[in-house]
Structure 1
């Protein structure tokens, strides 16, 4: 079994083959470091973006959803009053009064 390992370049006394010196070159090492730094920055950015999305979502739910519900409720009430006024034969509250004649 050791003879098969030595033929592949991983046995005793042999190097890592052709890719050994390349993988230890300063350019490759610096590229790996840059990739690791980029991954760290991406993780931090993703985490802070998630926090910001959570804050924006909960703020929207707490502040704006009740406002939207109340505005909808008021609009329905106005429509109901207008419908009742037209059924009772009174003047429509949505129409402005006619201008006085001279």
Structure 2
């Protein structure tokens, strides 16, 4: 076996302990302060996004339940009153009389 071939099956740039060039570069990059700061920033961004999502969900829940409790009954009552007004107008037109809401105001004296 020639010395230029090295060990059988080994790649050029591979040391005897099995650590290749790529693994050495990879481990030095992963220990870099820039990578550490990037991971820290990503972690903080994920935490902020999670809190924002949580608070948005809570706000949506509060708005939805408030709408159901306060606004929906109001809409139902307004619709009921509108139907009553239409019914009074239909009855007045069938009987040929004007309803109290349609009566002309008395002239001032």
Query: Which structure: greater helix fraction?
Result: 1
Query: Where does structure 1 differ by over 4 angstroms across 4 or more consecutive aligned residues?
Result: none
Given that 1:82 and 1:92 are in contact with CA atoms closer than 8 Å, whether structure 2 keeps it comes out as yes
TM-score (norm 1): 0.78
How large is the Cα RMSD of the aligned pairs? 2.7
Query: Which has more radius of gyration?
Result: 2
Q: For residue 19 of structure 2, give the secondary structure of its aligned residue in structure 1.
A: coil
Unaligned runs of 5+ in 1: none
Unaligned runs of 5+ in 2: 1-8
Quote the residue 1:48 is aligned against.
Answer: 55
TM-score (norm 2): 0.73
Residue 75 (structure 2) pairs with residue 68 (structure 1): yes
